[in-house]
Amino acid sequence: MNTPVEGFSRLSKAEKIDWIASNFTKDAERTKQLLQQYWNPDKKVQKVHDEFIENTVSNYYLPFALAPNFLINDKLYAIPMVIEESSVVAAASKAAKFWLNRGGFKTAVIGTEKVGQVHFIFKGDSNKLQGFFDEIKPDFFKNTKSITQSMEKRGGGIKEILLRNMSDKVEGYHQLHCTFETKDAMGANFINSCLEQFASTLKVRASAYESFTTEEQDIEVVMSILSNYVPNCLVRAEVSCAVDALTEDGISAKEFAEKIIQAIAIAKAEPYRAVTHNKGIMNGVDAVILATGNDFRAIEAGIHAYASKDGPYSSLTHATVEGDVFKFWIEIPLALGTVGGLTSLHPLVKLALEILQNPSAEELMQIVAVAGLAQNFAAVRSLVTTGIQKGHMKMHLLNLLNQMGATENEKQQLVQYFKTNTVTNASVKEALEKIQSE
């Protein structure tokens, strides 16, 4: 059995690799070679990556792709996407092209409010607490001046601080519910720094507040942290066209529109479907979030919470036919940054932002929402017409051939062959074996 390691973080990279290779892998030499193979030959670039996190031993590549022809508010974009799943980028590009000739995507930012909370326990008189809060509220702003100054210069800062009594849920539980504007920064550090200062002000002022009993003076701060649930940091993206313009192979425009409406209605009514429906949206959202160096876990958590804001988990996209107009839209919360964090560190993130014409955070919100909407349109379009597997397996063909060890020449022949034949695991294996035996 392996023994625990002491002081792992202090080992050099080579020592870490030696340790993992010899203790946890069958072929230490192969492990070392593999980890090294993924290093960047440019030492400076490698160092940047090494320093993002702790204990790095290599890099983990994901494809960086482009989905062109996105017309958003009459401006053309090529959207960078980082994702491992085949057919996502192809689907996005196909949806972009479909809507390019039908007016493109229209978007609007509905709100940009970020949230953070100081959670604390106060088991005394709630009215006294409210009076205390009202009295010391200006101090929350005053004591965070050194943190908020530069954010205020950029038009951001603390918007509001509210006291909330939550003691019906947890004994003595109260909170400072705080809202922020962080402009082009995602703002996590700014918000958390403000919150920790609010917590300190709360504690210090309470301890000297004469109307409190000794017990009341001892406010217990449990934690101070931003929330990734940002229902007022919201963006909307929409496409619309005359029903007749919704042309699709093998189906009338009217029937196609009806099927899309039904598919959305099902995703609204049935959480099992809604989760997969929204997963398809996240294929587009996450791919742009990753390419632009934003925090996809935060975005995922916030968006899924939003999907159940009215109770049951439901569809993030909506569709209507009114008169002869088909409308399809998405509304999602997105707390994004285009400055700070990885955005100025990761060379490919910088490039992704440049490709997107250096968007503000609000512009990036709109682009990401479009990627989510396009992805959903593409998925629903396939689902209600040909089924998803036809396109998916075509895109997956190269993965299968690579897994089966096909040569470049064999791949070329088989890509050609499967243009007119159905791709399945078995059919690809059989076709490969056939040309190998010839």
Catalytic residues: 85, 279, 295, 392
Give whichever of 182 and 283 is closer to ligand MEV, judged by the CB atom: 283
Least distance (Å) between residue 38 CB and ligand MEV:
26
Binding-site size for ligand MEV (CB under 6 A) equals 9
Least distance (Å) between residue 396 CB and ligand MEV:
11
Is residue 280 part of the contact set for ligand MEV (CB under 6 A)?
yes
Contact code string over 29-68 relative to ligand MEV, x by CB under 6 A: ----------------------------------------
Cα dist from 265 to 59, 141, 252, 276, 283, whole Å: 43, 46, 20, 14, 21
- 386-405: contacts with ligand MEV (CB under 6 A): 388
Cα dist from 276 to 45, 234, 315, whole Å: 37, 22, 9
Give whichever of 301 and 383 is closer to ligand MEV, judged by the CB atom: 383
Least distance (Å) between residue 242 CB and ligand MEV:
25
Least distance (Å) between residue 392 CB and ligand MEV:
7
Is residue 339 part of the contact set for ligand MEV (CB under 6 A)?
no
Is residue 279 part of the contact set for ligand MEV (CB under 6 A)?
yes
Q: What does the alpha-carbon distance between residue 378 and residue 393 come to, in Å, rounded to a whole number?
A: 15
Is residue 304 part of the contact set for ligand MEV (CB under 6 A)?
no
Give whichever of 122 and 328 is closer to ligand MEV, judged by the CB atom: 328
Is residue 277 part of the contact set for ligand MEV (CB under 6 A)?
yes
Is residue 282 part of the contact set for ligand MEV (CB under 6 A)?
no
Give whichever of 85 and 410 is closer to ligand MEV, judged by the CB atom: 85
Q: List own/partner pairs for 45-54 with CB under 8 A and 24 or more apart.
A: 45/347, 48/345, 48/346, 48/347, 49/346, 50/13, 52/342, 52/345, 52/346, 54/9
Give whichever of 279 and 394 is closer to ligand MEV, judged by the CB atom: 279
Give whichever of 205 and 277 is closer to ligand MEV, judged by the CB atom: 277
- 68-97: contacts with ligand MEV (CB under 6 A): 85
For ligand MEV, the nearest residue by Cβ is: 280
Is residue 186 part of the contact set for ligand MEV (CB under 6 A)?
no
The binder of ligand MEV chosen from 283, 317, 343, 366 (CB under 6 A): 283
The binder of ligand MEV chosen from 55, 150, 276, 425 (CB under 6 A): 276
Q: Which parts of this chain interact with ligand MEV (CB under 6 A)?
A: 85, 276-277, 279-280, 283, 379, 383, 388
